[in-house]
Structure 1
Amino acid sequence: MKKSVLGLSLLWLSNYALAEDPVVTDSNKYQVVFQNERVRVMEYRDKPGDKTNRHNHPDSIVYALSPFKRKLILGNGKELVVQKNEGETYWVAAQSHVGENIGITDTHVIIVELQEIDESK
């Protein structure tokens, strides 16, 4: 009985963790273009009015390929508006959020997520 409860708990936790990955939660918006043990590079696109599901990002660098205006609802409920011009590059600390395109242009960015390095290898 203990093994089955533990197994179900681990399965639930692994599914929960996967559900927080933006490539899983919003596969129609995020595309992985490169990945290794140090970084994951994704292309993100959406249209005005589009909204993402809640997801997580580790510390990341974002490069705007188009101007955009977005509302982010962070994991703690705080809302902020992010507006960037084409060509801007900026740092984003690790966070959980829901994003919504509240502008009049498509969002098109490249996101470079920094991966934790396993020093034991």
Structure 2
Amino acid sequence: MTADPRSYRVVLENERVRVLEYRSRPGFGVCGQGMHSHPDRVTVALSPVKVKLTGADGRTVVRDIPSGHVFFARAETHSTENVGGAGTRIYIIELKDHDGKPA
């Protein structure tokens, strides 16, 4: 994954997971800038998030995610944009395979 290091920090990393904390402002990527990829992961919304997601196929959807919402997602390539009126904060827990590589 490529992301602006000013928008995230590594909270924890070991042989099984990498936990990233992302902060974004309105108009910026929620979990990275531009089209990027994630391995299988669990996302925890630490604040409300209104996000526009664009998949690798070009399809776009807008989602309102409440604070405290937790969800699992399979590996994917997408772009995201904070389309809400406030900053956001999320944790992404990236799952690694048994060899310590992204799953």
Q: Same fold (TM over 0.5)?
A: yes
Cα distance in 2 for residues equivalent to 1:77 and 1:26? 22
In the alignment, structure 1 segments of 5+ residues that lack a partner are 1-20
Aligned counterpart, 2:73: 92
1:54 matched to which residue of 2?
A: 35
Who is 1:15 aligned against? none
* Distance in 1 separating the partners of 2:96 and 2:62: 26
Residue among 17, 21, 29 paired with 2:7:
29
Once residues 59 and 11 of structure 2 are traced to their aligned partners in structure 1, the CA distance between those partners, rounded to angstroms, is 30
Instruction: Give the TM-score normalised by the residue count of structure 2.
Output: 0.85
Cα RMSD (Å): 1.2
CA shift, 1:45, in A, is 0.5
**Partner residue in 1 for 2:63:** 82
Q: CA deviation at 1:72?
A: 1.1
Indicate the structure (1 or 2) with the bigger Cα radius of gyration. 1
Higher strand share: 2
Moved beyond 2 Å, runs of 4+ = none
Whether 1:39 and 2:17 are equivalent positions in the alignment is: yes
Q: Deviations over 1:82-120 (max 9, x none)?
A: 2111111111221111110001121100110101222xx
1:50 is matched by which residue type in structure 2?
F
